[in-house]
Amino acid sequence: MRHPILSVLLCLSVGVFAGCQGGGSMTSQGVESGVWGDLDGDRVQRFTLRNGRGMEVDLCDYGAMVTGVRVPDRDGRSVDVVLGFDSIEEYPEKSQYFGCTVGRVGNRIGGGSFELDGETYQLAANNGPNHLHGGDRGFDKHIWNATEILTSRGPGVRFTRTSPAGEEGYPGTLEAEATYVLTENDELVIEMSAVTDAATPCNIVHHTYWNLGGHGSGTILDETLFIDADRYTPVDATLIPTGEIAPVDATALDFRNGKSIGADFEAFPPNGDDPGGFDHNLCLNGEVGTLREVARLTDPTTGIVMTISTDQPGIQFYTGNFLNGMIGKAGAAYEKNGGLCLETQAFPDSIHHQGEPGWSDVVLNPGNRYEHVMVHRFSTD
């Protein structure tokens, strides 16, 4: 690591923990922060959240991102289950949205344009003919403002940024927020929100690549996944939804009984530029706007289990199909399928399906607040 964290230990004392002991031991609950490096002359900060149970989360203000999550495995050994890089300078070069907060609209917008209130908005077509993850310089490629916080649930960091009107072609000035809190129940809570001064589509998405066997432990194909979804959104060859909302019955996308990710993997073989594998939006069961448990991932070797709860309508299940062997933390090579993303979200390309049955409203208007909650809870089997 070229830029070790400066030990600026803040140790926010709450409940079970009564202050800084011995300069911040593994069991001290709090936030540690320091300068990580710089990008184009701008200082980048890193933060480490700790709970009193041996769980740690590394965050960074560039991209409001997660760069590490260390959790005890079934034998009590600490395992880093998040793909990332040792230095901040590697992120702009090598990262495929690793750990970041994606916006203003995560996932794809077909044809890279949309109409709103009679106006046509042209966005960057940065993914074939389509717009992906907010454009050429989305929320993931900016340094956010950061504030360390202490909540009743545990320590955290609140990241904020103003996305000016016209940024990446979107209308309205958007004030965005992404807050991370680590609880004593081994939960990483992510709350994303935004307000605007003019109507705009908004779909802020969290993009961590998980490997519960450890970030350098090979593929995720032997992990077991449950997703509470009866339906999914079929896509065309460029990954834009056709508009249909189809049952998962008798498809490889039926994760309702839990199954190994590799079990039906050959249902999506490589084809030309398409590397194959899962890269699909599933339509989550339950009421949109209500926090409910929607996914459960288990690694057979470490026994680490992660459940995800959200208030969102959909989840993009992506098996790291574009990972290309780039060298990550501690020299680990991240080969194809070396990590997976479970990105809760509004359905991709929703802006072209406003008002259609099953599709949610992704237009944020002045006076309203966009809200998105994700809770990642860790345990062992």
Point out which residues bind ligand GLA (CB under 6 A): 96-97, 107, 132, 239, 279, 316, 318, 322, 341, 343
Distances (CA, A) of 349 to 114, 118, 254, 318: 10, 18, 22, 16
DSSP class per residue in 333-377: EE-TTS-BEEEEESPTTGGGSTTSTTPPP-EE-TT--EEEEEEEE
| Nearest CA among 122, 222, 252, 201 for reference residue 365 | 201
Beta partners for residue 177, in sequence order = 160, 193
* 3-state SS assignment for residue 49: strand
Q: How far apart are CA 243 and CA 73, in angstroms?
A: 41
Task: Pick the closer one to ligand GLA by CB: 220 or 239.
Answer: 239
Q: To 5 degrees, how large is the angle CA 100–CA 101–CA 104?
A: 140
**Shortest approach of ligand GLA to residue 20 CB, angstroms?**
39
Instruction: Point out the catalytic residue in the list 131, 207, 215, 376.
Output: 207
| Nearest CA among 36, 75, 38 for reference residue 58 | 36
**Shortest approach of ligand GLA to residue 23 CB, angstroms?**
39
Task: Pick the closer one to ligand GLA by CB: 145 or 242.
Answer: 242
**Residue 207 annotated as catalytic:** yes
* 3-state SS assignment for residue 279: strand
Task: Pick the closer one to ligand GLA by CB: 48 or 203.
Answer: 203
Task: Pick the closer one to ligand GLA by CB: 55 or 132.
Answer: 132
DSSP 8-state secondary structure symbol assigned to residue 204: -
Q: Is 259 exposed, middle or buried (0-12, 13-18, 19+ CB in 10 A)?
A: middle
**Shortest approach of ligand GLA to residue 208 CB, angstroms?**
11
Instruction: Point out the catalytic residue in the list 223, 343, 353, 372.
Output: 343
* Residue type at 15 in one-letter notation: G
Task: Pick the closer one to ligand GLA by CB: 17 or 268.
Answer: 268
**Shortest approach of ligand GLA to residue 96 CB, angstroms?**
4
For the chain, give the number of residues. Answer: 381
Task: Pick the closer one to ligand GLA by CB: 188 or 341.
Answer: 341
| Nearest CA among 372, 376, 375, 356 for reference residue 364 | 372
Are the C-beta atoms of residues 171 and 121 closer than 8 Å to each other? yes
Q: Helix H segments across the chain? A: 90-94
Encoded tokens for 94: 């090598």
Task: Pick the closer one to ligand GLA by CB: 64 or 182.
Answer: 64
Which residue's C-beta sits nearest to ligand GLA?
318
**Shortest approach of ligand GLA to residue 41 CB, angstroms?**
27
**Shortest approach of ligand GLA to residue 35 CB, angstroms?**
28
**Shortest approach of ligand GLA to residue 109 CB, angstroms?**
12
Beta partners for residue 298, in sequence order = 224, 305
**Which residues are tagged catalytic?**
207, 343
